[in-house]
Amino acid sequence: MKKSRILFAIVVLAVFLTNCTNKSDDYIDPRGTDYAGSESCIQCHQAQFDLASHSSHFKATAPASLENVLGSFSKGNHVFTYDKNTKLVMEKRNDSLYQVLYKDGKEVEAHPYDIVFGVKHAQTGAFWKNYYTYELPISYYHSLNSWGTSPGYPTDKPFFNREIAKECYACHSSNIGSRYITTTSDKVNTMAMEAESFMDKNTLIYGIDCERCHGPAKEHVKTHLKFPDLKTAKNIVSIKGLSRQQRLDACAICHSGNDKIKLKSRFQFKPGESLNDYFRATPSSNDSLHFDVHGNQFGLLAQSKCFQKSEVMDCMTCHNPHENSPSNLATYSKICMSCHQDLKHNETTLKTMSGSLLANNCVECHMPKKTSNAISFKLSNNKQLSNYILRTHKIGIYPTNKK
């Protein structure tokens, strides 16, 4: 027993040392030998890498380092009060961050931030316990620059037992493998063999990386390293060359809600495949009145006349897949106008708006912000629920609002 352990240690050390000396050659991707890892793309695709590595996609999950965790951990703004006896405090202890529960001033339990989910509108933390991850009860909300209860958690008292299952990682990361436990000493042994949701920490690839969208690229890298003069891409799916539906599906795999019956894991999806092989619709996923602004950009866009009546519109009409959506809304007006040159608003509409709004902000009126029905949260010491607000992707005519 001891001998084999020492041997194991030597093997680990050897693997570690070769990794250090010969990084890119010996990189082993947890997804398998046909994957090359994002680092390997830099040498030939610096421009795409520079953009993508700063995108929300790359940070959709991240290790909970001091720089990745959002929200205040310092005095004045780091306490969430449930009631006069119950407080949750965001604390920095040594180099780690924690959420600590206090009852009547006494510490009851403390859980670390191990992983963070999300970056643009909100961020939630997760911690590891027995091969599972659990959500921390308080999340950070950008719109209010404040802490609030995590989605799906009770708002009146703290819990630490909401599992963050593989499902979440399938949209927020590039890989997480299963872990099967076989030792008889393990309490949970009997179920362990089938328990898909046991997760293997070491196989987690944070964020949505190049190959999550482009599919395995090891052969592509090998070929182009071998033939540096090749100008046309080899051994990689050209998303540009796919049909409109295939291009849409490459985004809709994660951007069309989560209420369908799953036939296969999202992790297996590669560009060019069809969503129909991954999901079967349920009554709720056909209930188009209730598509939520959170998580279902595809469903909403598909309800728009722009989408239905044009043959080319897809997500890339307005988004660079390597970049965050521009926050300057005038950018989108140019795109709208590329199809709507002959645009004429009626007299009443023209009267109610300034010329500059009309020219620069189609989105404000035709893709207004809407409240999510799927997510709401509570702020500290607050009785009311706060809304989670996102822009709808159903481009249409809405009653003109205040602005």
Sites for ligand HEC among residues 328-387 (CB under 6 A): 332-333, 335-340, 343, 345-346, 349, 353, 357-359, 361-367
Cβ 198 to ligand HEC, closest distance in Å? 17
Read off φ and ψ for residue 228, nearest 5 degrees: -65, -15
Q: Which residues of 91-112 are buried (b: 16+ CB within 10 A; e: fewer)?
A: beeeeebbbbbbeeeeeeeebb
Give the pair of three-digit tokens for residue 206: 């944070």
- For ligand HEC, the closer of residues 88 and 365 by Cβ is 365
Instruction: State the Cα–Cα distance between residues 66 and 20, nearest whole angstrom.
Output: 25
- For ligand HEC, the closer of residues 103 and 244 by Cβ is 244
Question: Interacting stretch for ligand HEC, rule CB under 6 A, among 89-97, 176-184, 280-288, 391-399?
Answer: 391-399
Site string for ligand HEC, 30-69 (x = CB under 6 A): ------x-x-xx-xxx--xx--x---xx--x---------
Instruction: State the Cα–Cα distance between residues 315 and 321, nearest whole angstrom.
Output: 8
- For ligand HEC, the closer of residues 145 and 190 by Cβ is 145
The angle subtended at Cα 166 by Cα 163 and Cα 172, nearest 5°, is: 105
Q: Is 291 exposed, middle or buried (0-12, 13-18, 19+ CB in 10 A)?
A: buried
Other CB atoms within 10 A of residue 389 CB: 15
Total residues belonging to the chain: 403
- For ligand HEC, the closer of residues 89 and 306 by Cβ is 306
Cβ 96 to ligand HEC, closest distance in Å? 20
Q: How many residues sit close enough to ligand HEC to count as binding (CB under 6 A)?
A: 104
Between residue 193 and residue 252, which ones bind ligand HEC under the rule CB under 6 A? 208, 210-214, 217, 220-221, 224-225, 230-233, 236, 238-240, 248, 250-251
Cβ 8 to ligand HEC, closest distance in Å? 31
- Contact status: 122 vs ligand HEC (CB under 6 A): yes
Instruction: State the Cα–Cα distance between residues 94 and 69, nearest whole angstrom.
Output: 15
- Contact status: 121 vs ligand HEC (CB under 6 A): yes
- For ligand HEC, the closer of residues 199 and 210 by Cβ is 210
Site string for ligand HEC, 292-331 (x = CB under 6 A): --xx-xx--x---xx--xx-xx-xxxxx-xx-xx-x----
Mapping DSSP to helix (H, G, I), strand (E, B) and coil, where does residue 116 land?
A: strand
Other CB atoms within 10 A of residue 396 CB: 14
Instruction: State the Cα–Cα distance between residues 61 and 254, nearest whole angstrom.
Output: 14
